[in-house]
Amino acid sequence: MTKDFQPQPNAPSISRPESLAKFLGIDWTLLQDVSKNIDLNWRKGKTEKKSDGSIRLTHSGSPVLKKIHKSINRKILSTVYYPNYLYGGLKNNSNGTNRNHIANAKLHQGKRLIISADIAGFFPSVNELTIRNIWQYFFPFAPDVATLLTRLTSYQDELPQGWGNSPYLAQLVFWNTEHLLLKKLHQQNVGYSRYIDDFTLSTNQTLTKENLTQLFRGLAVMCLQKGTKLKGKKCKVESRIRHQTVNKLIISGGKISLPKIYRNNLRARVHQFYLKKSKMIPIECSSQKRSIQGQINYLKKFHPYQASQLEIMLSQ
């Protein structure tokens, strides 16, 4: 398959674990010790509240494990060629274009139909075998080297969300299947992108119910091949006669905008801060203000006038 469709590794062949340590610039004894004691180097990450109200548990690591992860990213994972249909957790393209959620949304703007699907519990469902197969069969690494890298980048048979290598590995989960699906979609004039675990398809074609069923089935089969599955409630089809959304951004009406509920909630948060800040201790007031300013800066990307009005209110 052509380079445009499939990820391509750019790392040298490594046949021995000791050679991996040398390549990463990490002492071999240290690398071996950390890999054998990954539980001792695991740390609890932040607890995040998802948009549906459920809780996401994330992972962190010891300073030495983070150092190893950074080296793996720098020397191996960031050097991979990632096709331009992959977004999220990746460096900008060589021409400077972004790989963020905004760029992903723009890719599908103006299409007649937007088809979206999400993978259920993606990171926890990517198991150790899938990760090992990436290291052994996608990269030119010997089995012992793949085993060592798997120990360093997985935890309790999961891809740990929050570890530095996980976004890159998430993009490689479908390295030997996704390009086959993409080729079929291109033949049907259907556009495709994936933002980590969010699939977006778009087309100007008229699709029957059977056509749509086949598209969702193709995604579901690809997921099942890797031990993951689609989240049924997140599968949707949107026509341009109504609001179309990609990655929680509205892409209808010739421009990209934030949902009204986000803007209203932010305005309410700024108002509440204005009413209560006089009763806050300085450190709490400063923390709240920085957090709100971050949200305003995000709003400014899409609604600069509304953002400027909120900044005025925030500074009073």
Q: Tell me the pLDDT tens digit for each residue of 49-105.
A: 776 667 788 999 999 999 999 999 999 999 999 999 999 999 887 777 789 999 999
- Cα four-point dihedral sign 130, 132, 134, 137: negative
Farthest-apart Cα atoms in the chain, separation: 64
- Which pLDDT band holds residue 256 (cuts at 50, 70, 90)? very high
| pLDDT given at position 3 | 57
| pLDDT given at position 53 | 67
Q: Tell me the pLDDT tens digit for each residue of 210-253.
A: 999 999 999 999 999 999 999 987 789 999 888 899 999 999 87
Question: At residue 195, what are phi and psi to the nearest 5 degrees?
Answer: -105, 90
pTM of the predicted model as reported, rounded to 2 decimal places: 0.92
* Rounded-to-integer distance, Cα 274 and Cα 164, Å: 37
Residue 254 or residue 133, greater confidence: 133
Closest CA to 124 of 46, 216, 197, 63: 197
* Rounded-to-integer distance, Cα 234 and Cα 292, Å: 29
| pLDDT given at position 245 | 94
Contact 72, 172 (CB under 8 A): no
In 10 A of CB 303, how many CB atoms?
18
Q: Tell me the pLDDT tens digit for each residue of 135-167.
A: 999 999 999 999 999 999 999 999 999 999 999
User: Which DSSP symbol is given to 138?
Assistant: I
Q: Tell me the pLDDT tens digit for each residue of 21-45.
A: 999 999 999 999 999 999 999 999 9
Residue ranges of E strands in 50-132: 55-61, 86-87, 113-118
Residue 314, pLDDT > 90, answer yes
| pLDDT given at position 51 | 67
| pLDDT given at position 254 | 82
Work out the mean pLDDT of the chain and round it to a whole number: 94
Distance spanning both ends of the chain, measured CA to CA: 59
**Pairing status of strand 249-250 against strand 245-246:** antiparallel
- Which pLDDT band holds residue 202 (cuts at 50, 70, 90)? very high
Determine the residue type at 125.
S
| pLDDT given at position 211 | 95
